[in-house]
Chain A
């Protein structure tokens, strides 16, 4: 796992350097490498396809504009996760705020949106169940849970991304797991 990640980091660095030196297709390759990770993190955080799609486009835009000043202090993948995480949390806050002040019916629109990338009914139902459960835990707990369970990041990596202490992250993960257990029990 460690060796695999090191190889990925080196490949990423190579692509970034190519992009900085003017090779636009290097950016496309980097984007393709991370687009699914970005999408699924955002999708699990927000619970719907349209918001996740918005976030993917936003993250790519930030990557495109900021990569040229990337100083390699951290790895590209943690940097991309950092942008994805911030954008996801901001969008969740914005949607909450909108639902409070009723600027529009964004939440309803998002939930009932028919557009999705999953056509298989059984898969869709399973995913919806998972999404519904995840939406019932707080965004902070949800974030740690997703990073651990789906993105398979270590607490050290998550700490580097979120800026939170490992102790706080473990506590959030514990509460998330515990709450999900109760929710599944009461289904």
Chain B
């Protein structure tokens, strides 16, 4: 870290006052060390300030709204029952992800896992990575302050997950979520597969009773 770093970045970020800016530019002319450090930052500024590189195909932008309108029309035909099915599918995909993620750290035949047991075994670097990748809002709505159902076996297939989550647990999880948030978590193919699995298990019939 160079002693001039902060000053140079502030200069490019236009965070210096008029007087400070003048003083900086004067110093730049007479101070070789500052000049040298400045050269490297100038490259960053040049690389990222080129606005004319966005020569894009305008057809794409011209079609965005009409594509959105088509999607909107299509969405209005999704029946409520199907939405509930998709929601359950999304929940199960999240749970699958959680379980698969656990397995990433512990694949040595351990049968009972908890978030604490994962974090206790991580290095500080891994903890930071984990915190960066997974936000609180990913875990909290699912657990609602409680732990997720712990599976006794490491059956991580979709069928396995469905078999291990009771309808009551599913409904409880569902109540903690915004339907649209869940709906956007998985792509249509994934939801379709999960939806079919759920239909076979009779989840929807139980929910809409």
A75 adjacent to chain B (CB < 8 Å): no
Question: Which residue of chain A is the closest to B57 with respect to CB atoms?
Answer: A117
From the candidates A39, A60, A177, name the one contacting B68 in the complex (CB within 8 A): A60
A40 near B54 with CB under 8 A, answer: yes
B43 near A35 with CB under 8 A, answer: no
In the bound complex, what is the Cα–Cα distance between A101 and B107 (angstroms)?
Answer: 12
Stretch at the interface among B6-14, B18-26, B145-153, B199-207: B6-14
Smallest Cβ distance from B36 to chain A, in angstroms? Answer: 12
A118 adjacent to chain B (CB < 8 Å): yes
From the candidates B50, B54, B101, B190, name the one contacting A97 in the complex (CB within 8 A): B101
As a 0/1 sequence over residues 45 to 63 of chain A, the CB contacts with chain B under 8 angstroms (1 = contact) are 0000000000011101100
Task: Please classify the interface of chain B as helix (H, G, I), strand (E, B), loop, or mixed, using the class held by over half of its residues.
Answer: helix
B68 near A181 with CB under 8 A, answer: no
A21 adjacent to chain B (CB < 8 Å): no
Q: Report chain A residues within 8 Å CB of B68.
A: 31, 57, 60-61, 64
B3 adjacent to chain A (CB < 8 Å): no
B55 near A100 with CB under 8 A, answer: no
Query: Considering residues B132, B133, B134, B180, which has the most beta carbons from chain A within 10 angstroms of its beta carbon?
Result: B133
A181 near B61 with CB under 8 A, answer: no
Q: A100-B104, A184-B40, A184-B47 are in contact. Are A173 and B53 (CB under 8 A)?
A: no
Smallest Cβ distance from A75 to chain B, in angstroms? Answer: 21
B138 near A93 with CB under 8 A, answer: yes
Q: Report chain A residues within 8 Å CB of B53.
A: 123, 126-127, 130
User: Which B36-90 residues sit within 8 Å CB-CB of chain A?
Assistant: 40-41, 43-44, 47-51, 53-57, 60-61, 64-65, 67-69, 71-72
A185 near B40 with CB under 8 A, answer: yes
Q: Report chain B residues within 8 Å CB of A23.
A: none
Q: Report chain A residues within 8 Å CB of B56.
A: 117-118
A64 near B72 with CB under 8 A, answer: yes
B97 near A97 with CB under 8 A, answer: yes
Smallest Cβ distance from B47 to chain A, in angstroms? Answer: 6
A56 near B57 with CB under 8 A, answer: no
List 6 other contacts, CB 8 Å, given A60-B65, A93-B135, A123-B54: A101-B97, A103-B100, A119-B57, A126-B50, A127-B53, A138-B132
